[in-house]
Structure 1
Amino acid sequence: MAAAKRLFCFGCGYSARVFAARFRAKGGSVAGTCRTADKAAGLAASGIVPFLFGDGLPLEDPASALAGTTHLLISAPPGEKGDPVLAAHAADLRRIAPHVEWAGYLSTTGVYGDRQGGWVDEETPLDPAVARSDRRVKAEAAWTEFAASSGLPLHIFRLAGIYGPGRNQLLSVLDGSARRIVKEGQIFSRIHVEDIANVLEASMARPNPGAIYNVCDDEPAAAGDVVAYAAELLGRTPPPEIPFEKAELSPMGRSFYMSSRRVSNRRIHEELGLTLAYPTYREGLKSLLGTL
């Protein structure tokens, strides 16, 4: 990658920072947004030029912040009032769109809603089950419309449940917070954070503006199975099974169990030529033992 390449990340969180590290390792420069001065210091320490954005506050000097951007990643979540990036900076992005080589919007597989364990792919009609997924559907539509009118070479990535270093079931088993909640027929898909970066890199290598990709591993599984396997790897007794009906869950936790689906990742294999580093949760969790 030529040194002149510059990635700008709206929302430089867990997944974006892994991708940003890859981009920098190949010679590119990275800038990104966060909400607080403390987080800005953390971005700067990792080689990312930080800009404050969010909570209703736009970039202070968007022309300067976005200058030289060749690659754009949007992972800032939509709120009740819609997508915060488009609300604040649509005009600024329209100005740089002709110079952007690749853009990615990180969405969620939650846009498919409840399929009672059935399979979905990128052609499946959307049917969000909860308010935050409905916001994602609207944000996807807004970004798609913006890309069509501005020429921004946008790709949409629908992410499954994310895990990786510092965020995995091994840690929850160790700290005693893991719960093995059982709901008949409940199936989820997930993805290791490094494989998210692998997908984004593969898309950059084979850009196809307008494409949508499901980003998940090869084996949907019940959440309780992942907890049990994590306990096995650690040589611990897995936590007892708790029927969903008896589990005391927060509204957010309960909404997690309101939809069940198997997400197909065939497109990332066939169109991007990608082989996942962690095709199932088993390889992923094994690799994380050394991070504990």
Structure 2
Amino acid sequence: MTQFRSEGRPHILIAGCGYVGQRLAARLRDRYEITALIRANDKAAALERQGLKTLVIDLDRPRVGSSIPERLDQEAIVYLAPPPGSGESDLRLDRFLHLAFVPPKSFVYMSTTGVYGDSQGGLVDESTPVMPLTERARRRVSAEEMTRVWCHERRVRRVVLRVPGIYGPDRLPLERLRKSEPVVRPEDAGITNRIHVDDLVSACEAAIENKEARGVYNVTDGNSISSTSFIDLVAELTGLPRPPRVSMEEAQLTFSPERLSFLNESRRVSNDRMLKHLGVTLRYPDLEAGIRASL
């Protein structure tokens, strides 16, 4: 079992400490002792240079005898690692849960609004049945159920954050605009949703610290627009040319299967429960302000 010395502060394990996880660690490190679970030694070394404790475990090929940190004051596990790229279930998460012996007070799992499938532009909320259309989304549904069973058996408070497209610094489609990559014309583009990374970090923080929080929360900024409208707004704010338009029929011939899978789903995602029950105050409810802050 892996042991970490207590520093008198409650402990949080962040599994998958990348774009979101590093920002969450920076937000929490003054109040909590943080350990980042990373799959590669080079990434661990980079985080350690930032002052983070790290644990290297490749969840696709865990070493014999591996375990996550054993701490009786384990405040939370925040699981941000993506599922594997194939299959119907999240074997990566399954292996992680088998390594977690001492239950935390709370388990926060970052899922996706893709579990709702296509509502043809209609509004979905946390009571809407899941209807995943892609393998990627079905893996997320499997993972949500896996965490539900694990947390129920151990009496752990569980929070699932269903997240749409994440944008922020270094996460804007600037390269696509510079290359003049085409987009689907507005009349063919479905409705999509997004969240600024800083507001997503606030949702993770609230999931840990709001002891009444449990169950599923949609995490969005409330701006339901098409991906074409979003890219056009980025172009306008950066002074780059708007991308060329193609019909959906043309897109079917030239776009990647993954990109098409997003275009084939259209939904408006309600964030009422996040605002009223989880208690998140959005820093960027205005999309233009969020894009400007990301540049």
Aligned letter for 2:126? Answer: E
Matches of 1:242 and 1:86, distance apart in 2: 39
Q: Which residue of 1 aligns with 2:75?
A: 70
Matches of 1:195 and 1:155, distance apart in 2: 16
Q: Which residue of 2 aligns with 1:16?
A: 21
Task: Say if 1:109 and 1:158, in contact at 8 Å, map to a contact too.
Answer: yes
Structure 1 residue 180 corresponds to structure 2 residue 187: no
Q: Which residue of 1 aligns with 2:279?
A: 273
Structure 1 residue 157 corresponds to structure 2 residue 161: yes
Task: Say if 2:11 and 2:76, in contact at 8 Å, map to a contact too.
Answer: yes
What per-residue deviation string (whole Å, max 9, x for no partner) do you get for residues 126-153 of structure 1?
A: 0001011011101101110111111122
What per-residue deviation string (whole Å, max 9, x for no partner) do you get for residues 169-194 of structure 1?
A: 34543x42554323625010000110
| Gapped regions of structure 2 (runs ≥ 5) | 1-6
Matches of 1:116 and 1:64, distance apart in 2: 42
SS of corresponding position for 2:22: helix
Q: Which of 264, 267, 280 pairs up with 2:270?
A: 264
1:102 deviates by 2.4
Q: Which of 228, 231, 246 pairs up with 1:224?
A: 228
Change (3 A) 1:158 1:64: closer
Q: TM-score, normalised by structure 2?
A: 0.88
Q: Which residue of 2 aligns with 1:82?
A: 89
Task: Say if 2:108 and 2:208, in contact at 8 Å, map to a contact too.
Answer: no
Task: Say if 2:15 and 2:37, in contact at 8 Å, map to a contact too.
Answer: yes
SS of corresponding position for 1:156: strand
Q: Which residue of 2 aligns with 1:102?
A: 106
1:54 deviates by 2.8
Matches of 2:36 and 2:216, distance apart in 1: 23
CA RMSD of aligned residues (A): 2.2
1:203 deviates by 2.4
What per-residue deviation string (whole Å, max 9, x for no partner) do you get for residues 238-279 of structure 1?
A: 112222221211111111212111100001111133221111
SS of corresponding position for 1:111: helix
Change (3 A) 1:63 1:231: closer
Q: Which of 134, 142, 153 pairs up with 1:130?
A: 134
Change (3 A) 1:208 1:84: farther
What per-residue deviation string (whole Å, max 9, x for no partner) do you get for residues 173-218 of structure 1?
A: 3x42554323625010000110001112222231235321001111
1:123 deviates by 0.5
Tell me which moved more, 248-257 or 164-173. Answer: 164-173
Change (3 A) 1:241 1:91: closer
What per-residue deviation string (whole Å, max 9, x for no partner) do you get for residues 80-110 of structure 1?
A: 27334553243442x311xx23220000000
Q: Which residue of 2 aligns with 1:238?
A: 242
Q: Which residue of 2 aligns with 1:7?
A: 12
Q: Which residue of 1 aligns with 2:148?
A: 144
Change (3 A) 1:32 1:249: same
Matches of 1:127 and 1:113, distance apart in 2: 5
Q: Which of 41, 46, 52 pairs up with 2:50?
A: 46
Task: Say if 1:169 and 1:178, in contact at 8 Å, map to a contact too.
Answer: no
Matches of 2:188 and 2:68, distance apart in 1: 53
Q: How many residues align?
A: 283
